[in-house]
């Protein structure tokens, strides 16, 4: 039996899981399904939050621009929401949405409004008045003016805000681990509680990679939607 003891001990010592290394391919190999589930939840919550946040922000920005006395209230309220600590905000939502992904999505939508409303409003305000007057003179109603003239010209500012909001949402989604719906944040929290280095580092790196990938995807979408800027830059 003594002949097998040293070899067995050496095998355990050489295993990165047994050593609790920060970088451990064995962790990724053995927990791949779990990592993919967390990543899928993270992406789903992020996409839903940004999409809903953008739709709400677009409406609020248009209203704020057309009804000047509401402008201050809309901007002030969206800014005030961003100052609320995530733990407090999620706790306020729990009686209405329960311990679910909905709680996280609603919270992230509210957080995104600060960036998105200001960004969209800045883009709309930057549309030259003579361009707007020319479109009205050609018979454009307010809805057609918004779709055909104002939004296309506001796209640079809109995409700048959308990229910042998306990257911010990717990071804030991890806070959803408070209600057990934080995607990769669940792995980070569990790894910290158990002092599992590989789990913490792997989930953290994936968050960074996801944020970078989302930013590059939005940048590519912006270039596709704005071919005239490609022509100018070339």
Q: Cβ(192)–Cβ(200) under 8 Å? A: yes
Compute the distance between CA of residue 123 and CA of residue 160 in angstroms, rounded to an integer: 10
| Fold of the domain spanning 23-225 | MetI-like fold (1.10.3720)
pLDDT tens digits for 25-40? Answer: 888 998 999 999 999 9
Instruction: Using the predicted structure, report yes or no on whether residue 66 has a pLDDT greater than 90.
Output: no
Instruction: Using the predicted structure, report yes or no on whether residue 9 has a pLDDT greater than 90.
Output: no
Q: Cβ(225)–Cβ(155) under 8 Å? A: yes
Q: Cβ(112)–Cβ(169) under 8 Å? A: yes
Residue found under tokens 């946040």 = 53
Compute the distance between CA of residue 43 and CA of residue 129 in angstroms, rounded to an integer: 40
For the question of whether the overall pTM of this predicted structure is more than 0.85, the answer is yes
Q: Cβ(179)–Cβ(90) under 8 Å? A: yes
pLDDT tens digits for 182-224? Answer: 999 999 999 999 999 999 999 999 999 999 999 999 999 998 8
Q: Cβ(169)–Cβ(46) under 8 Å? A: yes
* Segments making up each domain of the chain, as ranges: 23-225
């Amino acid at each position: 039996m003594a002949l097998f003891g040293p070899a067995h001990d050496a095998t355990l010592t050489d295993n990165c899981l047994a050593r609790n290394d920060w970088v451990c391919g064995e962790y990724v190999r053995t927990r791949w399904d779990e990592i993919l589930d967390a990543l899928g939840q993270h992406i789903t919550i992020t996409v839903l939050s940004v999409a809903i946040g953008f739709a709400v922000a677009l409406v609020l920005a248009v209203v704020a621009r057309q009804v000047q006395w509401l402008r201050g209230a809309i901007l002030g309220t969206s800014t005030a929401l961003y100052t609320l600590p995530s733990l407090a905000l999620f706790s306020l939502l729990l009686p209405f949405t329960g311990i679910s992904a909905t709680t996280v999505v609603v919270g992230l939508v509210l957080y995104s409004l600060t960036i998105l409303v200001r960004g969209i409003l800045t883009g709309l305000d930057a549309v030259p008045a003579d361009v707007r007057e020319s479109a009205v003179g050609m018979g454009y109603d307010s809805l057609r003016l918004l779709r055909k003239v104002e939004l296309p010209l506001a796209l640079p500012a809109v995409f700048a805000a959308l990229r910042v909001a998306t990257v911010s949402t990717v990071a804030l989604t991890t806070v959803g681990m408070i209600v057990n719906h934080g995607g990769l944040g669940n792995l980070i929290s569990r790894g910290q509680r158990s002092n599992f280095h590989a789990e913490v580092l792997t989930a953290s790196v994936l968050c960074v990679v996801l944020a970078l990938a989302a930013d590059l995807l939005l940048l590519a979408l912006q270039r596709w939607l704005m071919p005239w800027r490609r022509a100018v830059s070339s």
